[in-house]
């Protein structure tokens, strides 16, 4: 009984810590829903997509590829590349998992890894407790999925001009992500500028589909940036 109570307490702690994440997810997912609506998805389809793929950049890439009429293979590859950072987060979390933890918990852990949930989970001392993650996921994932569905519904109800205006919100979110690092690093600023220019040039001159073009640019530019601007190892000294 004490063990069950402990698990319940940990679950509620995760639920509590997941509430601020859920509020942020809902706002972002609403704008993402507009992008999904523009790609032709229904509210139910958007809800399922956001339930299975809790990733803003990954889902935006997914909806963009769907809207561009990309093939299944192109869509899968780009989504995998866009979400590749979660491999690193999962590796970091695996170091704090109890070796005796059943595989079922490990799979659910992996399915619920997001930037924010990773941050609050990895900050907890000691071994990772599945119930904490499940608590955070129980409030944040539904908020993400419902926000996407409502964005699609509102996109179908609002005037065309209003939908067009809301479509800009997601671009604003990505600008808010890249501008602060650009101010701190010349290398990042150059990468962003070259990325914009390359995307425009490739669209105008390369005889490739939108999906293949996006994959080539993503892999090529990120690899080139890693070679030209490698990150220095941080010193372990205090």
| % residues pLDDT > 70 (the chain) | 84
In the predicted structure, residue 149 carries a pLDDT above the cut 90: yes
pLDDT at 144: 92
Could you read off the pLDDT of 88-127 as tens digits, one per residue?
778 878 878 888 888 888 888 888 888 888 888 877 888 8
Q: Helix, strand, coil shares of the chain as percentages rounded to 5? A: 80, 0, 20
Residue 145 is predicted with a pLDDT of 93
In this prediction, residue 142 carries a pLDDT of 93
What are the two backbone dihedrals, phi and then psi, of residue 136, each rounded to the nearest 5 degrees? Answer: -65, -40
Between 58 and 136, the higher pLDDT residue: 136
- pLDDT tens for each residue of 124-143: 888 888 888 899 999 999 99
Position 138 scores a pLDDT of 93
Q: How far apart are alpha carbons 167 and 161 in whole angstroms?
A: 10
How far apart are alpha carbons 39 and 56 in whole angstroms? 15
């Amino acid at each position: 009984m004490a063990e069950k109570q402990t698990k319940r307490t940990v679950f509620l702690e995760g639920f509590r810590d997941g509430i601020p994440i859920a509020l942020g997810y809902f706002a972002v997912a609403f704008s993402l829903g507009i992008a999904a609506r523009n790609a032709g998805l229904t509210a139910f389809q958007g809800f399922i997509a956001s339930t299975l793929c809790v990733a803003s950049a990954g889902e935006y890439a997914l909806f963009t590829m769907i809207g561009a009429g990309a093939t299944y293979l192109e869509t899968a590859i780009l989504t995998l590349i866009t979400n590749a950072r979660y491999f690193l987060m999962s590796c970091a979390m695996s170091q704090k998992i109890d070796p005796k933890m059943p595989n079922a918990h490990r799979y659910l852990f992996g399915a619920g890894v997001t930037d924010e949930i990773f941050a609050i989970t990895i900050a907890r001392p000691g071994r990772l407790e599945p119930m904490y993650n499940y608590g955070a996921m129980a409030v944040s994932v539904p908020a993400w999925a419902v926000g996407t569905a409502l964005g699609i519904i509102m996109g179908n109800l609002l005037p065309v001009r209003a939908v067009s205006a809301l479509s800009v919100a997601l671009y604003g979110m990505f600008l808010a992500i890249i501008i602060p690092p650009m101010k701190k690093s010349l290398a990042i600023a150059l990468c962003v500028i070259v990325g914009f220019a390359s995307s425009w040039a490739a669209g105008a001159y390369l005889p490739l589909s939108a999906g293949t073009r996006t994959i080539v640019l993503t892999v090529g530019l990120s690899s080139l940036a890693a070679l030209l601007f490698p990150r220095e190892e941080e010193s372990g000294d205090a």
